[in-house]
Amino acid sequence: MEESKIIGILRILENISHIKDIDTLLEQVLFEARKIVNAEAGSVFLIKDNVLSFEYVQNDVLYGSYDNSNVYSYTKKKMPVNNESIAGHAALIKKPLIIDDVYSIDEDKPYSFNRKFDELSNYITKSILSVPLINNRDVVIGIFQIINATDSSGNIIPFTDSDAFLVELFAKQAAVAIEKAVMTREIILRMVSIAELRDPQETGAHVNRVGAYSVEIYKQWARTKGLSKKTIKHNRDILRIAAMLHDVGKVAISDSILKKKGKLSNKEYDDMKFHTIYGARLFKNAASEWDDMAHEISLNHHEKWDGNGYPGKINDISSDKLKLQKGKKGDEIPIYARIVALADVFDALMSQRWYKDPWPESKVFDFIQSESGKHFDPSVVESFLIVQDSILAIWKKFD
């Protein structure tokens, strides 16, 4: 039985090696780690600067098992790497930690169980398997906290040494994939930081939020359209990164326009609109699905559902004699650009800008609704409103 599970783990590792987005990857590896030991819940932490950062939670009892997307995943929760917490202790000893009953931990143990989540959610945690994610340099980069193993009848049981062995085996290889995905995210943020030097509004927090909003909106939109789970997971992995680069073309816009403290002239505003084309040019020679999506989003995220956006229907974005054209309309605008358009506007309205104060939350949502069928695709607005709790949680996480 254990041998067949090891073969299964190897197959899982092959599949996750293709995931580039760190958030999608963390969700998937946590799901797979739980599945290996038949656990009903779990969370994953990453370690940076000797601090455990809560990154993702799954709980089939509280949130269902579709994809475990929930508001709690976007909370900002950090704790030091020390012996006081179960996860911190596992990180320090660099070994799996098995606890049969968290409410009966011996008093001589240095760690204790934080009951706050159980009290807030009316969930009962019993058994825990805490496994460190250790990279090839023998550095702990995170922790799997797997909760409540279950038997074939759904009864909660203790984790076994065999469970610990299997999850530890998986964790060692998952850590490698996580490091690669973290590196990809860092490269994206460095590209954004270049744009930020030109445009102070294009911050790391802004693009992280736009990427996260876009994924949540897309997942809801795709479910409504009846897309398969496999398709949704595949597309959202690409979408988050592509959405984060929606305004990278601003690096080609003059500082006199980007940093002007006042209203742009008509000529300046038209020149600024060309950032959509300059961004799309970066991804024109597509070598991957990610290039294709980044190209679509960069070019089209300022188009409007009613046809009054920009840059319009341009046949050749490589031409030296570019002119803005009549805007694309409705389904002529790629769906990912329609989604990012709403995500970008929402974040801009919620944010402080040199020319405006942040709008009240209720006013922002009212405005988005009022622009359904005008600026925004009505189906995208509908999906946005359904996931608004997650949207607001994202806003608070990346403030």
Catalytic residues: 250
The residues pairing with 44 across neighbouring beta strands, listed in sequence order, are: 56, 144
Residue type, 205: A
Residue 136 CB: number of other CB atoms within 10 A? 9
**237 conformational bin, left if phi > 0, alpha if psi -120 to 50, beta if neither:** alpha
Interior/surface letters 330-363, b for 16+ CB within 10 angstroms, e for the rest:
eeebbbbbbbbbbbbbbbbbbbeeeeeeebeeee
Inter-residue long-range contacts of 314-318, CB under 8 Å, 24+ positions, other chains counted: 314/277, 317/277, 317/280, 317/281, 317/284, 318/281, 318/284
Give the up-direction half-sphere exposure of residue 240: CA atoms within 13 A in the CB hemisphere: 23
How, if at all, do strands 39-48 and 78-80 pair? unpaired
CA 317 to CA 169: how far, in whole Å?
49
Residue found by looking up tokens 């579709």 in the block: 66
Contact 168, 131 (CB under 8 A): yes
Strand runs (DSSP E) across the chain, as ranges?
39-48, 51-59, 78-80, 97-99, 128-134, 140-150, 156-157
Give the up-direction half-sphere exposure of residue 383: CA atoms within 13 A in the CB hemisphere: 24
CA 115 to CA 203: how far, in whole Å?
36
- Residue 277, classified by CB atoms within 10 Å of its CB into exposed (0-12), middle (13-18) or buried (19+), is buried
